[in-house]
Amino acid sequence: MYGHRSIPDGAASSATSKVAILLALYNGADFLREQLDSLVAQSHGSWSLTISDDGSQDDSRALAEAFAAAHPDREIRLIDGPRKGPAANFRHLLAHVPHDAGFVAFCDQDDIWMEDKLARAIGDLAAEQGPAIWCSRAQVTSDTLTPLGLTPAPRHPPSFTNALIQNIVIGHTLTLNRAAFALVAAANAEAGPVVMHDWWIYQLVSGAGGRVVWSDAPSTLYRQHRRNAVGGQGGAMAQWAAMRRMGGDEHQSWNRVTLAALAASRLRLTPKTARCSTISR
């Protein structure tokens, strides 16, 4: 496990262990039920769920409504998304985090969480006083859940410098403590478009001096199928290898967009990272 030590900003994370799970949904009917069932199976049972449907044209919304009806003891909400793609949908969800949640976890519609995912994440984050995020490797599978290998381990420990050139944060493993959520929510109101919400969060939290906890043990089954937003038929392993490379016009374009969003919140960064010429432009 890697850790980037935080620089306290005076904001203490909430003592509550309740986790706000944020699920971005769009035409995910094929695999949604298995993902939702894996939430119910979590060993850490204190959670709420907010699902943002981005205009699904399949049975996704009906499945989400049926799941909520089947679990009346749970705090489950279904809201309408902005219909601007997955990154915008996840950012839209940030405005719908319950006030009593001590942690925030991002959830994709087509993966499966291992039963100890939330327990591991909040256990590793519980002692953190400043902004901190948790993420891990994932077990890559076929659409029928045949194991295909693990997502690659980072070549370098998490850091702001690393975050400028590659994203090691797998979004569907990402959990934030309350202080990190407060930072991200404030920056969300300032930022323009981002390519990947998880990469932007990694840059923002590390740039603000927050801690990034990365676990080598997988916490999710990362299902590969032809409609993946990231991964898809080319395979997660190939996609992650491509994302690690610094060259290429597409990667450089992604970086420019994400850095522009980061620059909008430069006053939230540490003095050292705020002076970075890449951000100051």
Task: Check whether 13 has a pLDDT greater than 70.
Answer: no
Residue with the two structure tokens 């009346």: 72
Domain boundaries of the chain, sorted by first residue: 2-275
Task: Check whether 72 has a pLDDT greater than 70.
Answer: yes
Read off the DSSP letter of residue 31.
T
Give the class (CATH, top level) of 2-275.
alpha beta
Do residues 108 and 25 touch, judged by C-beta distance below 8 A?
Answer: no
Distance CA 144, CA 54 (A): 25
Give pTM, 2 decimals.
0.88
Rg of the chain, C-alpha, whole Å: 18
- What size, in residues, is the chain? 281
- pLDDT (0 to 100) of residue 12: 36
- pLDDT (0 to 100) of residue 259: 81
- Both structure tokens of 233: 């038929």
Distance CA 82, CA 88 (A): 7
Do residues 21 and 101 touch, judged by C-beta distance below 8 A?
Answer: no
Task: Check whether 232 has a pLDDT greater than 70.
Answer: no
197-216 pLDDT per residue, tens: 999 999 999 999 999 999 99
Task: Check whether 11 has a pLDDT greater than 80.
Answer: no
